[in-house]
């Protein structure tokens, strides 16, 4: 089919119920594939197919391995569309692009599970909401006053990730087993991180940040796959905690630094950019290696950030009267990373930007207890509806470089959302739904209104229907802490 846009005509064809292909054209080096339902196609049309145009741009980069991909939560981003996945072969001149990782390096989610029941939660919900809001700083630039780390220790943390914190009592050794790559990307190079990045990141360890970052206390509302749910330790009525945060100012500065660097060096390597936001350098170049070292350091910072948030979340639960009721790490995974992985018999650098790793059953990268079911895939929704737990599949390994959707995906800008929320009291509306909201300000709540996001259920149905993720369970929010 051909769809007219303000930028010309974009041709794509339907391969199956939820899978579409944009044939190689113009400067594209390979085809592009995206996953969508009819409703998601309508969302793409409403944005004049800007994110699909970005996906076509990704397919122009050197060394890209067919196909360039986007998940069903696709929307416009910086360089790559959010929901974008692309693999590059270093031996074929493949590149690394900071725009393919994002400014919030290793923005990701951690799911904690308990044996607390929904009924027990309701008895102490207000107190717990207040304790969590006090325990986990949120908002633009907010730092912690009860946790300080010096420069030498921060450099060690950038290499070691959350294991550095666990050794000092901020969590349990078992936590590390439930973190993607055990919370430590190899090759982290603290020397490749700028002084400005250190200054921005050091006071922000253990904080949520702003925007769409959150901490939610939820409960398991529905189970779709009993076997996988048992493997993950999930059952109806069980209280869970979902933490969404990333590398804060440190990761943002790393991205800023290397976008500027790569714009300068791209001509030296003969890289023609159809969009400056796709600034790139060869994986094997000195600049490419430096960025990967800095990016890995920022990713380890983000894993440690979620570890520290989890520690203070556990303390808040204890103060609210849930002492002795452990919160176990089910899984922690990244949304914005570039990682060397083996796919199709060769090692490639997989960029996931607003997409998540979704390795299938039997993969040795997974904890033993999850290998039969496949990797837990966490798909946050909006604060008023639901989030989902999925499992990685053989289909994701075969079709998407082991990747899946990462969330609901925005369909309304923050400015437009705040305009739509005028005259409404969203916090009171949520309270009438039984959801307590604690936030740094009304503006944050307004711009994160449910209507600003795609329906996560729609994204999950496409993911499940396309075979690149399997529905396991649905989670409903009861407490929301926002930045």
- Cβ contact 336:102 at 8 Å: yes
Catalytic residue among 75, 311, 351, 406: 406
Does the bond joining 67 to the residue before it have cis omega, within 30 degrees of 0? Answer: yes
Residue 161 makes CB contacts below 8 A (sequence gap 6+) with 182, 183, 184, 185, 300, 301, 303, 304, 307
Question: d(Cα 412, Cα 408) in Å, to the nearest integer?
Answer: 12
As beta bridge partners, residue 480 has 216, 437
User: CA-CA distances (angstroms) from residue 154 to 71, 108, 148, 419, 464?
Assistant: 35, 20, 10, 41, 40
Q: Is 311 annotated as a binding residue?
A: no
Name which of 55, 114, 109, 110 is nearest 84 in CA terms. Answer: 55
Q: Is 216 annotated as a binding residue?
A: yes
Q: Is 336 annotated as a binding residue?
A: yes
Q: Is 244 annotated as a binding residue?
A: yes
Residue 352 burial (C-beta neighbours within 10 Å; 0-12, 13-18, 19+): buried
- Cβ contact 161:190 at 8 Å: no
Length of the chain: 483
Q: Is 367 annotated as a binding residue?
A: no
Locate 267 and state its tokens. 């001509």
Q: Is 214 annotated as a binding residue?
A: yes
Question: d(Cα 203, Cα 189) in Å, to the nearest integer?
Answer: 20
Residue 424 DSSP SS3: coil
Question: d(Cα 448, Cα 214) in Å, to the nearest integer?
Answer: 10
Q: Is 335 annotated as a binding residue?
A: yes
Q: Is 212 annotated as a binding residue?
A: yes
Q: Percentage helix, strand, coil, to 5, in the chain?
A: 40, 25, 35
Q: Is 213 annotated as a binding residue?
A: yes
Name which of 368, 358, 365 is nearest 464 in CA terms. Answer: 358
Residue 469 burial (C-beta neighbours within 10 Å; 0-12, 13-18, 19+): buried
Q: Is 215 annotated as a binding residue?
A: yes
Q: Is 106 annotated as a binding residue?
A: no
Q: Is 381 annotated as a binding residue?
A: yes
- Cβ contact 335:328 at 8 Å: no
Question: d(Cα 44, Cα 64) in Å, to the nearest integer?
Answer: 24
Q: Is 482 annotated as a binding residue?
A: yes
Q: Is 406 a catalytic residue?
A: yes
Locate 471 and state its tokens. 């529905």
> Which residues are catalytic, by number?
406
Binding-site sequence positions for GMP:
212-216, 335-336, 380-383, 387, 406-409, 482
Binding-site sequence positions for Mn(2+):
104, 213, 244, 335
Binding-site sequence positions:
104, 212-216, 244, 335-336, 380-383, 387, 406-409, 482
């Amino acid at each position: 089919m051909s769809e007219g846009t303000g930028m010309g005509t974009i041709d794509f064809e339907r391969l199956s119920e939820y899978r579409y292909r944009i044939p190689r054209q113009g400067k594209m080096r390979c085809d592009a594939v995206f996953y969508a339902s009819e409703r998601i196609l309508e969302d793409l049309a409403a944005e004049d197919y800007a994110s699909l145009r970005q996906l076509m741009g990704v397919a122009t980069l050197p060394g890209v391995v067919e196909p360039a991909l986007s998940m069903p939560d696709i929307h416009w981003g910086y360089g790559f569309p959010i929901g974008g996945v692309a693999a590059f072969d270093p031996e074929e001149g493949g590149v690394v692009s900071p725009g393919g990782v994002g400014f919030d390096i290793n923005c990701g989610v951690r799911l904690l599970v308990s044996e607390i029941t929904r009924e027990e939660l309701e008895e102490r919900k207000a107190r717990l909401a207040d304790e969590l809001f006090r325990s986990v700083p949120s908002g633009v630039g907010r730092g912690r006053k009860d946790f300080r780390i010096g420069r030498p220790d921060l450099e060690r943390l950038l290499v070691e990730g959350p294991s550095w914190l666990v050794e000092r009592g901020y969590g349990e050794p078992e936590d590390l087993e439930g973190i993607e790559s055990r919370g430590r990307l190899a090759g982290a190079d603290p020397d490749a991180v700028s002084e400005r990045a250190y200054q921005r990141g050091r006071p922000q360890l253990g904080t949520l940040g702003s925007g769409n970052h959150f901490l939610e206390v939820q409960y398991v509302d529905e189970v779709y796959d009993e076997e996988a749910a048992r493997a993950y330790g999930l059952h109806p009525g069980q209280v869970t905690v979902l933490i969404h945060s990333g590398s804060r100012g440190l990761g943002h500065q790393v991205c800023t630094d290397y976008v500027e660097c790569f714009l300068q060096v791209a001509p030296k390597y003969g890289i023609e950019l159809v969009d400056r936001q796709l600034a790139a350098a060869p994986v094997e170049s000195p600049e490419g290696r430096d960025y990967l070292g800095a990016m890995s350091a920022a990713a380890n910072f983000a894993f440690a950030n979620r570890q520290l948030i989890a520690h203070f979340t556990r303390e808040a639960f204890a103060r609210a009267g849930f002492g002795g009721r452990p919160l176990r790490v089910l899984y922690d995974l990244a949304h914005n990373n570039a990682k060397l992985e083996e796919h199709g018999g060769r090692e490639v650098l997989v960029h996931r930007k607003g997409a998540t790793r979704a390795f299938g059953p039997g993969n040795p990268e997974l904890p033993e207890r999850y290998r039969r079911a496949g990797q837990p895939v966490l798909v946050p929704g909006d604060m008023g509806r639901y989030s989902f737990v999925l499992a990685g599949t053989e289909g994701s390994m075969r079709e998407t470089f082991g990747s899946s959707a990462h969330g609901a995906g925005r369909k309304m800008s923050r400015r437009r959302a705040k305009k739509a929320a005028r005259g409404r009291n969203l916090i009171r509306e949520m309270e009438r739904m039984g959801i307590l909201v604690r936030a740094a300000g009304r503006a944050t709540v307004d711009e994160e209104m449910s209507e600003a996001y795609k329906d996560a259920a729609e994204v999950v149905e496409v993911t499940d229907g396309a075979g690149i993720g399997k529905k396991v369970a649905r989670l409903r929010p009861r407490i929301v802490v926002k930045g």
